Every structure is written in structure tokens, then in C-alpha cells.
């Protein structure tokens, strides 16, 4: 028969320690390990998705002064940067005598007068339309001001209504500019017709006065009065440098994400603080541009207006 041996553990404390240690290691080895995760506090805040690219400013309303008659010489004492006012005489042209009446030129002059009259009427109707848009936007802004005070709408919704008003005001200014230009073009067309009519032979000392259609500055002197001038030839460019907008060429893939009325931030323009603006127009026609890497890209012009006070950027 086999004899059994019993080892009193209390006489061997080291064995107890080893058993406890092995048991602890087994438990620790099979115990599920925690998964390391990163946690952050959830907050409610607006999300801003931006498209960053370069842009440049341009004068909003530029007008090219052209000659309404054929002339030999003109008198002009203006230079780039000179201020002019609406109705101010810019230059005078001594018209040529018409040696032979050209029926085609006469018919074209009559057609230009008719087109100028229609353009003037269309611009006057556009002024009425933009005036109605401004009045509606002003009423909407007043109504949303009360809703904002009561906490019924968000600040973002209020800013959108305000942007709509600013856009309507800009469109109204543009419509008024077009109306002034249309009046000038009608006068120019009538002058051209006058000198293409039977019995309209120019007098010896007759001068055709060219007046400014707008208030602004001389932006460019296209040509000096040292050679004969023909009908429709460009002479001066006039505009208001204080009325600026920004043109930005963006990739066509990004342009589809941009909508009129979206906010714009102008950074690194030379001032300390960024300027604010709003998208006015995404031109429907694109163009091809070669990138610095030699890759042809399809781009679209996006036009934005300033909404920051003029004192900040003029």
C-alpha cells in the first residue's frame, strides 16, 4: 500500500507565497484588458467650412468714354486720377465734314438711338425693381430684429437677412449707375445721328462736347488727342475708386458649393483685422487656367462685395 505524505503548509510559508503569486498571475493574465479610448466634452457650436484662395479688388462701375463723331482734333486737359463730376465737360471734338451721306451709317445711327432708348427704359424699370427689393429687405430686417430680441431666431438667421438687405442696396446702386450711363449713351447716339443726317454739315468752329455721365475719377486715358478720331473710338475710362468689389477665381468643383449671400472674410489685405463681405455673384461662364504645376484647371469668377464699413478699408 502507498503511504501518503502531508506537508503542513504553515511550516512552509514560501510555498504559500508561490501559490498565491501564481494564482494572481493567472487571474491577471486572463482578466479582460481595458481598451484605451480618447474622450472629449461634447459642445454645441457652429461648424465653419471654408474655401481659401487669392482675390483682387476692382472698381465696380467703370465706364469707357467713346467718340460719338468723326473728328480731326480734340481738346482735353485731364490726367489719370483727376476727379470729375456728372455733367462736367471732359473734352471737345471738332467734327469732320461729311463728304458723302452714307445710308448705311445713317440707318445704323438710327438703330443705335432706338437701342439706347430701350436700354434707358430697361434701366429705369430695374431701378424700380431694386427699390422694391430694398424696401422689402428693410421690412424683413426690422421684423427679424424683434424676433431676435425675443430669442425666436438665431443670430445666423438674422445675419442672413441683413446680408440680403446689403446685397439689395448694392444692386440698387448698380441700377442707378446703369441708368446714368444709359442717359449718356442716348445723348451720344443722338449726336451721332445728328452728324449722319442730310444737311448736318459741320460748321467751321463747331465743337462736340463730351460730358461725364457719372461722378468719379479718370482711371485711364486710352489715347491722346493728337490724331483723327473715329466714331466709337475709346478715349477715357471713368470710375469711382471708392466703390470696390473683389473678384476671386475658384476651382469649378468649389464654385458649385458657393451660393450668393454667403459670408466672405478678407485676410492679409494689409490691415490688422479681417474684413467682412458677402458673395454677390457666381459667373456662369468658366475659363481655363494653367496652375503653377502646369496643370490645366477649370475656374470660375466669384464676385464679392464688402460689408465692413468703408472707413476700415478705404
Residue 290 near residue 251 (C-beta atoms within 8 A): no
Top-level class of domain 61-239: mainly beta
pLDDT at 302 (0 to 100): 93
Query: Whole-angstrom Cα distance, residue 241 to residue 272?
Result: 22
Query: Is the pLDDT reported for residue 218 higher than 70?
Result: yes
Q: Express each pLDDT in 124-148 by its tens digit.
A: 888 888 899 889 988 988 888 888 8
Query: Whole-angstrom Cα distance, residue 189 to residue 41?
Result: 70
Residue 214 near residue 86 (C-beta atoms within 8 A): yes
Distances (CA, A) of 284 to 55, 247, 302, 303: 18, 14, 10, 12
Q: Express each pLDDT in 176-217 by its tens digit.
A: 888 888 888 888 888 777 766 555 555 556 778 888 888 888
Task: Please state the three-class secondary structure of the chain as a single string.
Answer: CCCCCCCCHHHCHHHHHHHHHHHHHHHHHHCCCCCCCCCCCCCCCCCCCCCCCCEEEEECCEEEEECCCCEEEEEECCCCCCEECCCCEEEEEEECCCCCCCHHHHHHHHHHHHHHHHHHHHHHHHHHHHHHHHHHHHHHHHHHHHHHHCCCCCHHHHHHHHHHHHHHHHHHHHHHHHHHHHHHHHHHHHHHHHCCCCCCCCCCCCCEEEECCCCEEEEEECCCCCCCECCCCEEEEEECCCCEEEEEEEEHHHHCCCCCCCEEEECCCCCCCCEEEEEEEEEEEEEEEECCCCCEEEEEEEEEEECCCHHHHC
The domain spans of the chain are 61-239, 243-313
> Among candidates 93, 102, 171, 159, which has minimal Cα distance to 130?
171
C-alpha cell at 263: 459670408
> CB-hemisphere CA count at 13 Å for 108?
11
pLDDT at 209 (0 to 100): 84
Residues contacting 253, CB < 8 A, separation 6+: none
**pTM, two decimal places:** 0.60
Residues contacting 237, CB < 8 A, separation 6+: 62, 63, 64, 65, 218, 219, 220, 222
Q: Express each pLDDT in 65-111 by its tens digit.
A: 888 888 776 666 788 888 988 888 888 888 876 554 567 776 777 78
Average model confidence (pLDDT) across the chain: 81
Q: Express each pLDDT in 253-305 by its tens digit.
A: 898 899 888 889 998 888 888 898 888 889 988 899 888 888 888 999 999 98
C-alpha cell at 188: 451720344
Tell the burial category of 87 from Cβ atoms under 10 Å away from its Cβ (0-12, 13-18, 19+).
exposed
Amino acid at each position: 500500500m502507498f503511504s501518503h505524505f502531508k506537508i503542513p503548509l504553515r511550516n512552509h510559508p514560501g510555498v504559500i507565497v508561490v501559490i498565491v503569486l501564481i494564482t494572481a498571475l493567472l487571474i491577471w493574465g486572463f482578466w479582460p484588458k481595458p481598451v484605451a479610448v480618447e474622450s472629449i466634452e461634447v459642445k454645441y457650436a457652429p461648424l465653419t467650412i471654408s474655401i481659401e484662395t487669392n482675390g483682387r479688388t476692382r472698381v465696380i462701375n467703370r465706364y469707357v468714354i467713346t467718340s460719338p463723331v468723326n473728328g480731326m482734333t480734340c481738346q482735353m486737359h485731364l490726367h489719370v486720377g483727376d476727379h470729375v463730376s456728372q455733367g462736367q465737360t471732359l473734352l471737345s471734338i471738332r467734327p469732320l465734314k461729311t463728304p458723302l451721306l452714307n445710308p448705311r451709317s445713317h440707318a445704323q445711327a438710327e438703330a443705335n438711338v432706338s437701342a439706347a432708348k430701350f436700354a434707358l427704359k430697361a434701366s429705369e424699370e430695374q431701378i424700380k425693381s431694386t427699390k422694391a427689393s430694398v424696401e422689402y429687405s428693410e421690412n424683413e430686417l426690422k421684423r427679424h430684429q424683434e424676433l431676435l430680441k425675443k430669442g425666436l431666431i438665431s443670430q445666423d438667421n438674422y445675419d442672413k437677412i441683413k446680408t440680403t438687405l446689403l446685397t439689395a442696396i448694392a444692386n440698387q446702386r448698380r441700377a442707378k449707375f446703369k441708368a446714368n450711363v444709359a442717359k449718356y449713351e442716348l445723348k451720344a447716339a443722338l449726336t451721332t445721328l445728328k452728324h449722319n443726317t442730310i444737311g448736318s454739315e459741320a460748321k467751321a468752329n463747331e465743337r462736340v462736347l463730351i460730358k461725364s455721365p457719372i461722378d468719379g475719377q479718370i482711371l485711364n486715358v486710352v489715347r491722346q488727342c493728337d490724331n483723327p478720331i473715329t466714331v466709337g473710338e475709346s478715349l477715357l475710362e471713368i470710375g469711382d475708386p471708392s466703390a470696390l468689389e473683389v473678384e476671386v477665381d475658384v476651382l469649378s468643383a468649389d464654385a458649385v458649393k458657393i451660393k450668393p449671400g454667403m459670408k466672405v472674410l478678407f485676410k492679409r489685405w494689409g490691415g490688422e483685422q479681417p474684413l467682412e463681405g458677402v458673395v454677390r455673384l457666381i459667373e456662369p461662364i468658366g475659363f481655363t487656367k494653367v496652375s503653377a504645376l502646369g496643370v490645366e484647371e477649370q475656374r470660375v469668377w466669384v464676385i464679392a462685395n464688402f460689408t465692413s464699413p468703408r472707413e476700415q478699408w478705404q
